[in-house]
Amino acid sequence: MTPLPQITFRNMEPVPILEEGILKEISVLERFFQRIMNCRVVIEGPRGRRYGGLYKVRIDLKVPNEELVVENSPSLHGALKDVEAPSKTKQSEPNRIHRDVRRAIHDAFQEMRRRLQDYVRRMRGQTKQHDVKIQAKVIKLFPEMDYGFLETPDGREIYFHRDSVLDTHFDRLRIGSAVHFAGEVGEKGPRATTVKLVHPTKQARSAAKTKVVKTSKPPHRKRAQQKGSTRA
């Protein structure tokens, strides 16, 4: 994930141990799917109560072509237990509430894992049914901005982003690298939805011997994609 996860606490003070637990949960998602683009997590405490009550957890996960959202509100079962439980000392209250919040966070991330698995299955099915491999070569590369442009045999110029490059091979790309891609026409012009390096092992050895040639003066994405669409 290129951007750092965004963690927000509402109606409660930030808790470092909870932030650490959230980062661990996100790392599990990243091991399952390496093309996560962004993740936002909001923990909302109960209004008007210092301890106890229900906590809401919302997770927004940005993935290619889609945003997955989970909003988890724990059931009243936990709240009833709090009411029925014997009174606790002030020192024990924070520890108990941290356990409750961790449970809510864990449950929300479990649901997000299920959503992410469904998303991956859908993407794999679409790839098998609809992806048509088109050969192209890299003609422009802006590694510091995580994107570049391909050129097809018929002269079309296609935008692609780091997240569209399969198997995290973006750093192996060089000007002239041969690729296969599947594309679509977006709001700003033609773009590659998936880019696969041809003969990645061979090209990796070649890339190790070749410095990245950065194209000067990156074009504005909208103008560049419109230019590519007019050439189509």
Residues 6+ apart with CB under 8 A from 119: 33, 63, 66, 68
Q: How far apart are CA 225 and CA 189, in angstroms?
A: 5
The secondary structure of 80-113 as a DSSP string is HHHHHSPP--TTHHHHHHHHHHHHHHHHHHHHHH
Please compute Rg for the chain using Cα positions.
23
- All structural domains of the chain: 6-129 (3.30.160.100), 134-231 (2.40.50.140)
Q: Which of 63, 71, 6 has its CA nearest to residue 29?
A: 63
Say what the pLDDT of residue 48 is: 59
Q: How far apart are CA 161 and CA 180, in angstroms?
A: 14
Q: How far apart are CA 141 and CA 150, in angstroms?
A: 9
Residue 151's DSSP bridge partners are: 137, 157
Say what the pLDDT of residue 199 is: 80
Say what the pLDDT of residue 214 is: 56
Say what the pLDDT of residue 77 is: 42
pLDDT tens for the 232 residues of the chain, in order: 557 899 999 988 899 999 999 999 999 998 888 889 999 999 998 875 555 567 899 999 999 889 999 997 654 444 434 333 444 444 444 444 555 788 889 999 999 999 998 888 887 665 554 445 789 999 999 999 999 999 999 899 999 999 899 888 898 899 999 999 988 877 778 889 899 998 877 766 766 666 655 555 555 555 555 544 444 4
Q: Enter the pTM of the model.
A: 0.48
Task: From residue 131, give the alpha-carbon distance in Å to each of 119, 122, 159, 187.
Answer: 16, 13, 17, 20
Residues 6+ apart with CB under 8 A from 187: none
Q: Are 82 and 101 in contact (CB under 8 A)?
A: no
Q: What is the DSSP-derived secondary structure letter of residue 130?
A: H
Tracing tokens 């599947």 back to the chain, one arrives at 182
Q: Which of 32, 38, 56, 46 has its CA nearest to residue 120?
A: 32
Q: What is the DSSP-derived secondary structure letter of residue 167?
A: G
Q: Which of 50, 81, 207 has its CA nearest to residue 138?
A: 207
Say what the pLDDT of residue 216 is: 57
